[in-house]
């Protein structure tokens, strides 16, 4: 970098064109930094500072950098500096130059959140953003024009007092939101006007330039006072987010002192009030809407149903074991009532629990594909589970499958027993240990008894094989392929048993 | 009966709506009105005012009607209450929303309703309000519909096309609580409706890598609310119930609403001061589950009564019960461990992780990043700092608990 500026101990003064002349600052700062000018030798002045000083200082000629010297700087710095340039701190442009010089020296400085200059920058950025956010929130438009005119014909005018120089910066928000309205936002730091096509920027305005009232404000105040719950008074929490400085321009804020003053007595009166006698309509409503309500608590098995559809209906309110409470719904079996072949799985999973249908998740899809490979028509078989509610452990946004215990399997056996009794299939296939345990009434080692034809508690034929989810969990690809083949072979054996 | 003015209806139907805690207007798809219509949503929610109860007013939160065939004992609108009743027409709700929106009072509409005639009739009218706003008026602001769980799933489907958010209240943390206090409501029906909404969001929201299309069905997701303190359910069960709801229905939020006195209360449910601090602690615990990697059963592990400590925040309470876990070295520990340190938020943890790539952190450096170092000191080591026996001191809880406000006799 050039040493010229430093050698002569020259002082530079840069007068910016406006309070938000970040472009001007950036051009001057680039030239000064390239010339190696220390921040102590530079003063940036904004119009408000210039008009206050006794001597209206002209800009000093800036050092002319050598053509071949350039530098680049982190994008984050440029973005944050731009935001901070809207701050009302008169020293902001000097501070930003000081920071620029430091960042050139310490390329990682922007990432050191504990540095005091970085903290100052962050605080400025935060303050500007908060001011902008409060402007989006607390601007209150008042409509002018003929009271009878349609809503769209009028002009909507607001008076707002921001802390920082943000009016132009935030114009885009209001243009996107109220693109088809004519509006103006007047502030002591400048004003913006939109006519549905172009934005124009005007000089600072006075409060008296804005309309004094709008008939809709009466409705808004009605809403504000009624949405407030006097039993939950939290004045500090309100003021932390809506500081008093904003109140004078918000039509609803005048109600606040009375709402606070009356809150305690209103809350006490509610607690002290004696219960009243229900209105006559209450009895009529109960008669019309609730007299036919059944008192099926679902806590004991219902009388056995005569057909599968009635059984399914009964199962919807099942509360025989605690699994019903976390689960979404009973996932009952599915398939033709006259099926000759029944498959029994373990329990519904996440997908089945949401859809209310068995065998539609990843394991169900694998099952379907295998049946097709083995030449079994899926539409002719009945599929169901040993346990009809999903048992899981919550983990953030996911649910981890949990194995049902012996009691749960035993309790839910009532439903499976009814299903099998009504269908009376030629063969039932137990997919996995839980299904086998449920059907045979004893614990079963699937690996040992796989492929065998056994007899259920009711004397029906049962074929034992693995659950398809077992195949999904094998990490080794080669073994996985082998096990899939074995499972398919089991399904072929099932088909042959049916044909025999 | 003389005709009630819109203002009278507004007074009644906003009063009746205030017990719903949610007022969020964030997290929806980006929209604006440059090509017609009115309004915008830009992702971040905006609170346009605050009531003296400290709650944000972001949406016009009203009931379509407070006539109701249900008799939930905690509710001001139950059929046995003598509260004044009113009913908006569809057009009145649409007009009010637009009038308020054009004056920048609100981000949009949160419409709920008592159930009249049948769940389908009522839900149908609510959907029609949303449809008129979206289609007839090109409204691009935020719409939250409180869904009636007993309604036809077809109406749920339509609701999700017009609304940013759908919510269905579970009402109370346990099924037995619902049976006792809201006997006509069926917890399975409520869960099944939430399942339907999750299913629809997933189905419509599936994005292809190429288009990255934003979900069109309820783009701001679904939420629920439970009342706290109307029944004796302890916090540990409440948190378990929340964890199950978050994992089952992929909810954006579970809202906890401290049971609040209502006018003309039911004799079956005595009133008391709303447990506001408990509600606050539940929200903090909820945050620990969602952003700090705490499992629901970990938060109150080792507590005797399953209740959150009202005097100190749940993370500090957890740390005091699990002191063997500390001190944690801020220069070495991974993110998951740093998040366990009382007084360190997710933003501060992110800053620590970034700064320590370039510098070794001293206690002062940590102090420069966080709000207050007092609470953190006993639980960390940093360059030149070790808490020594401080982590184990008997009276650590007393030293770290906020001092109760001094009262004087008057």
Q: Residue A206: count other Cβ atoms within 10 Å of its Cβ.
A: 9
Q: Are residues A362 and A438 in the same domain?
A: yes
Q: Are residues A393 and A426 in the same domain?
A: yes
- Taking each helix axis from N to C end, the angle separating A433-440 and A406-423, rounded to the nearest 10 degrees, works out to 70
What's the mean pLDDT in B78-88? 96
Could you tell me if B402 lies within 8 Å of chain A, comparing CB atoms?
no
Contact list in A for residue B296 (CB cut-off 8 A) is 394
Cβ–Cβ below 8 Å for B52 and A214: no
User: Parallel, antiparallel, or unpaired for β A142-144 and A155-159?
Assistant: antiparallel
- What is the model's pLDDT at position B348? 97
- What is the model's pLDDT at position A486? 96
Contact list in B for residue A241 (CB cut-off 8 A) is 47, 50, 54, 56
Contact list in A for residue B246 (CB cut-off 8 A) is 394, 396-397
Q: Is the separation of the CB atoms in A312 and A332 below 8 Å?
A: yes
Contact list in A for residue B272 (CB cut-off 8 A) is 271
Q: Is the separation of the CB atoms in B90 and B122 below 8 Å?
A: no
Which residue, B53, B96, B38, is CA-closest to A183?
B38
- Chain A residue with CA closest to B83: the answer is A279
Q: Are residues A314 and A348 in the same domain?
A: yes
Q: Residue A380: give the domain boundaries.
A: 308-499
Contact list in B for residue A220 (CB cut-off 8 A) is 100, 103, 105
Q: Are residues A149 and A186 in the same domain?
A: yes
The CATH class, in words, for B6-274 is: alpha beta
Give the minimum alpha-carbon distance from B394 to chain A in angstroms, rounded to a whole number: 32
List, for residues A289-298, the tens digit of each pLDDT value: 998 765 667 7
Q: Are residues A485 and A343 in the same domain?
A: yes
Which residue, B96, B204, B214, is CA-closest to B160?
B204
**Residue at which a domain ends, from A133, A159, A189:** A133
**Residue at which a domain ends, from A133, A161, A181:** A133
User: How many CA atoms within 13 Å lie on the side-chain side of B145?
Assistant: 30
Q: Is the separation of the CB atoms in B166 and B199 below 8 Å?
A: no
Identify the residue whose tokens are 């701190």.
A89
Separation of alpha carbons A311 and B22, rounded Å: 40
A286 domain residue, yes or no: no
Buried b (16+ CB within 10 A) or exposed e, B380-409: bbbbebebeeebeeeebeeebbeeeeeeee
Which residue, B145, B85, B158, B79, is CA-closest to B112?
B145
pTM: 0.94
Point out the residue among A112, A219, A234 whose CB comes nearest to the CB of B359. A112
Name residues of chain A where pLDDT drops below 50: 1-7
Could you tell me if B53 lies within 8 Å of chain A, comparing CB atoms?
yes
Cβ–Cβ below 8 Å for B53 and A230: yes
Q: Is a pLDDT exceeding 60 seen at residue B9?
A: yes
List, for residues B84-114, the tens digit of each pLDDT value: 999 999 999 999 999 999 999 999 999 999 9
Point out the residue among B17, B49, B102 whose CB comes nearest to the CB of A151. B102
List, for residues B339-386, the tens digit of each pLDDT value: 999 999 999 999 999 999 999 999 999 999 998 999 999 999 999 999
For residue A453, the domain's CATH number is 3.40.470.10
Report the percent of chain A where pLDDT is more than 90: 84
Total structural domains within chain A: 4
Q: How many residues does chain A have?
A: 500
Q: Are residues A454 and A484 in the same domain?
A: yes
Q: Which H or E run contains A392?
A: strand A392-395
Could you tell me if B262 lies within 8 Å of chain A, comparing CB atoms?
yes
For an interface test with A, the pick among B52, B77, B228, B287 (most A C-beta atoms closer than 10 Å) comes out as: B52
Q: Is a pLDDT exceeding 60 seen at residue B1?
A: no
Q: What is the DSSP letter of A41?
A: G
Q: Is the separation of the CB atoms in A345 and A467 below 8 Å?
A: yes
Give the minimum alpha-carbon distance from A262 to chain B in angstroms, rounded to a whole number: 11
Domain ranges of chain B: 6-274, 314-400
Q: Are residues A144 and A129 in the same domain?
A: no
Q: Are residues A330 and A393 in the same domain?
A: yes
A218 domain residue, yes or no: no
Separation of alpha carbons A357 and A354, rounded Å: 8
Q: Are residues A195 and A79 in the same domain?
A: no
- What is the model's pLDDT at position A5? 42
Phi/psi-derived region of residue B49, left when phi > 0, alpha when psi is between -120 and 50, beta in every other case: beta
Q: Is the separation of the CB atoms in B98 and B136 below 8 Å?
A: no
User: How many CA atoms within 13 Å lie on the side-chain side of A209?
Assistant: 16
List, for residues B285-328, the tens digit of each pLDDT value: 999 999 999 999 999 998 889 999 999 999 999 999 999 999 99
Which residue, B31, B15, B91, is CA-closest to B219?
B31
Q: Which two tokens stand for residue B223?
A: 């939420």
Q: Are residues A147 and A108 in the same domain?
A: no
Cβ–Cβ below 8 Å for A273 and B290: no
Q: Is a pLDDT exceeding 90 seen at residue B210?
A: no
A492 domain residue, yes or no: yes
- Chain B residue with CA closest to A257: the answer is B52
Q: What is the DSSP letter of B362?
A: B
Cβ–Cβ below 8 Å for B60 and A223: yes
Separation of alpha carbons B78 and B66, rounded Å: 9
Rounded to the nearest integer, the mean pLDDT of chain B is 93
Residue B209 burial (10 A CB sphere; 0-12, 13-18, 19+): exposed
Report the percent of chain B where pLDDT is more than 90: 84
Could you tell me if B49 lies within 8 Å of chain A, comparing CB atoms?
yes
Q: What is the DSSP letter of B134?
A: I
Point out the residue among A180, A234, A260 whose CB comes nearest to the CB of B38. A180
Cβ–Cβ below 8 Å for B247 and A396: yes
A214 domain residue, yes or no: no
Q: Are residues A121 and A198 in the same domain?
A: no
A125 domain residue, yes or no: yes
The CA dihedral of A236, A238, A240, A246, to the nearest 10 degrees, is -130
Q: Which H or E run contains A157?
A: strand A155-159
Angle at B157 between CA B155 and CA B158, to 5 degrees: 65
Q: Is the separation of the CB atoms in B190 and B170 below 8 Å?
A: yes
Could you tell me if B36 lies within 8 Å of chain A, comparing CB atoms?
yes
Specify the 3-state DSSP secondary structure of A324: helix
Q: Are residues A455 and A469 in the same domain?
A: yes
- What is the model's pLDDT at position A6? 44
End-to-end CA distance of chain A: give it in Å, rounded: 94
- Chain B residue with CA closest to A133: the answer is B46
Q: Residue A414: count other Cβ atoms within 10 Å of its Cβ.
A: 15
Q: Is the separation of the CB atoms in A107 and B17 below 8 Å?
A: no
């Amino acid at each position: 970098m050039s040493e010229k500026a430093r050698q002569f101990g020259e002082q530079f003064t840069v007068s910016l064109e406006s309070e938000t002349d970040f472009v001007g600052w950036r051009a001057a700062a680039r030239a000064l930094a390239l010339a190696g000018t220390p921040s102590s030798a530079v003063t940036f002045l904004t119009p408000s500072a210039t008009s206050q000083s006794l001597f209206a200082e002209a800009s000093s000629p800036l050092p002319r950098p050598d053509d071949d010297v350039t530098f680049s700087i982190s994008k984050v710095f440029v973005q944050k500096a731009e935001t901070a340039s809207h701050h009302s701190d008169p020293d902001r442009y000097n501070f930003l130059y000081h920071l620029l010089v430091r960042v050139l020296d310490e390329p990682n400085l922007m990432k050191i959140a504990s540095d005091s200059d970085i903290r100052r920058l962050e605080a400025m950025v935060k303050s500007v953003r908060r001011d902008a956010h409060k402007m989006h929130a607390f601007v209150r438009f008042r409509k002018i024009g003929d009271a009878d005119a349609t809503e769209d014909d009028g002009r909507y005018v607001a008076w707002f007092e921001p802390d920082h120089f943000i009016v132009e910066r935030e114009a885009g928000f209001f243009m996107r939101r109220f693109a088809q309205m004519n509006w103006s936002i007047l502030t002591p730091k400048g004003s913006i006007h939109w006519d549905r096509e172009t934005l124009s920027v005007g000089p600072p305005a006075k409060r008296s330039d804005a309309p004094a009232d709008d008939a809709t404000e009466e409705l808004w105040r009605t809403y504000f006072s009624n949405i407030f719950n006097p039993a939950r008074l939290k004045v500090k929490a309100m003021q932390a987010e809506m500081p008093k400085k904003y109140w004078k321009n918000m039509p609803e804020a005048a109600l606040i002192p009375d709402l606070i003053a009356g809150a305690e007595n209103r809350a006490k009166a509610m607690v002290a009030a004696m219960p009243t006698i229900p209105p006559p309509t209450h009895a009529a409503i109960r008669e019309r809407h609730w007299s036919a309500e059944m008192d099926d608590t679902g806590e004991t098995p219902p009388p056995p149903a005569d057909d599968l559809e009635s059984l399914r209906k009964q199962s919807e309110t099942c509360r025989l074991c605690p699994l019903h409470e976390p689960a979404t719904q009973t996932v009952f079996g599915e398939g033709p009532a006259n099926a000759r072949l029944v498959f029994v799985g373990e329990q519904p999973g996440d997908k089945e629990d949401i859809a209310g249908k068995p065998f539609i998740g990843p394991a169900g899809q694998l099952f379907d594909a295998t049946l097709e490979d083995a030449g079994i028509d899926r539409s002719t078989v009945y599929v169901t589970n040993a346990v009809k509610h999903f048992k899981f452990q919550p983990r953030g946004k996911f649910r981890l499958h949990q194995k049902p215990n012996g009691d749960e399997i035993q309790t839910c056996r009532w439903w499976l027993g009814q299903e099998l009794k009504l269908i009376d299939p030629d063969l039932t296939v137990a997919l996995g240990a839980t299904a086998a345990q449920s059907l045979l009434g004893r614990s079963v080692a699937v690996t040992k008894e796989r492929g065998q034809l056994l007899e259920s508690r009711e004397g029906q034929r049962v074929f034992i094989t693995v659950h398809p989810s077992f195949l999904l969990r094998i990490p080794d690809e080669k073994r996985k392929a082998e096990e899939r083949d074995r499972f398919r072979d089991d399904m072929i054996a099932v088909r042959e048993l049916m044909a025999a | 009966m003389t005709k009630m003015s819109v203002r009278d209806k507004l007074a009644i139907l906003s009063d009746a709506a205030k017990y719903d805690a949610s007022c969020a207007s964030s997290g929806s798809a980006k929209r604006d009105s440059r090509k017609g219509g009115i309004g915008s949503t830009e992702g971040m929610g905006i609170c346009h005012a605050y009531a003296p109860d400290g709650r944000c007013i972001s949406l016009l939160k009203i009931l379509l009607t407070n006539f109701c065939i249900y008799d939930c004992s905690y509710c001001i609108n139950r059929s046995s209450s003598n509260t004044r009743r009113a009913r908006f027409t569809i057009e009145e709700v649409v007009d009010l929303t637009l009038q308020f929106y054009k004056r920048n009072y609100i981000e949009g509409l949160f419409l709920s309703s008592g159930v009249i005639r049948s769940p389908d009739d009522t839900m149908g009218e609510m959907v029609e309000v949303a449809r008129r706003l979206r289609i007839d008026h090109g409204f691009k602001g935020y719409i939250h519909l409180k869904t009636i769980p007993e309604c036809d799933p077809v109406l749920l489907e339509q609701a999700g096309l017009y609304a940013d958010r759908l919510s269905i209240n579970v009402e109370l943390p346990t099924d037995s609580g619902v049976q006792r206090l809201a006997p006509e409501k069926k917890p399975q029906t409520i869960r099944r409706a939430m399942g339907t909404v999750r299913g629809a969001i997933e189905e419509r929201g599936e994005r292809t890598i190429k288009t990255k299309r934003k979900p069109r069905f309820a783009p701001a997701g679904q939420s629920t609310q439970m009342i706290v303190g109307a029944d004796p359910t302890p916090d540990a069960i409440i948190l378990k119930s929340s964890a199950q709801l978050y994992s089952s229905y992929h909810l954006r939020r579970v809202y906890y609403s401290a049971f609040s006195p209502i006018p003309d209360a039911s004799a079956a449910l005595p009133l008391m001061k709303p447990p506001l601090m408990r509600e606050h602690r539940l929200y903090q615990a909820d945050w620990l589950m969602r952003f700090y990697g705490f499992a629901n059963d970990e938060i109150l592990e080792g507590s005797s009564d399953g209740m959150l400590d009202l005097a100190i925040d749940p993370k500090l309470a957890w740390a005091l019960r699990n002191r063997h876990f500390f001190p944690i070295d801020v220069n070495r520990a991974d993110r998951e461990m740093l998040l366990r340190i009382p007084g360190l938020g997710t933003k501060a943890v992110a800053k620590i992780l970034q700064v320590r790539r370039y510098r070794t952190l001293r206690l002062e450096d940590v102090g420069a990043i966080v709000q207050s170092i007092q609470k953190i000191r006993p639980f960390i080591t940093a360059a030149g700092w070790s808490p020594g026996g401080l982590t184990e001191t008997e009276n650590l809880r007393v030293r770290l608990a906020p001092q109760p406000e001094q009262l004087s006799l008057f």
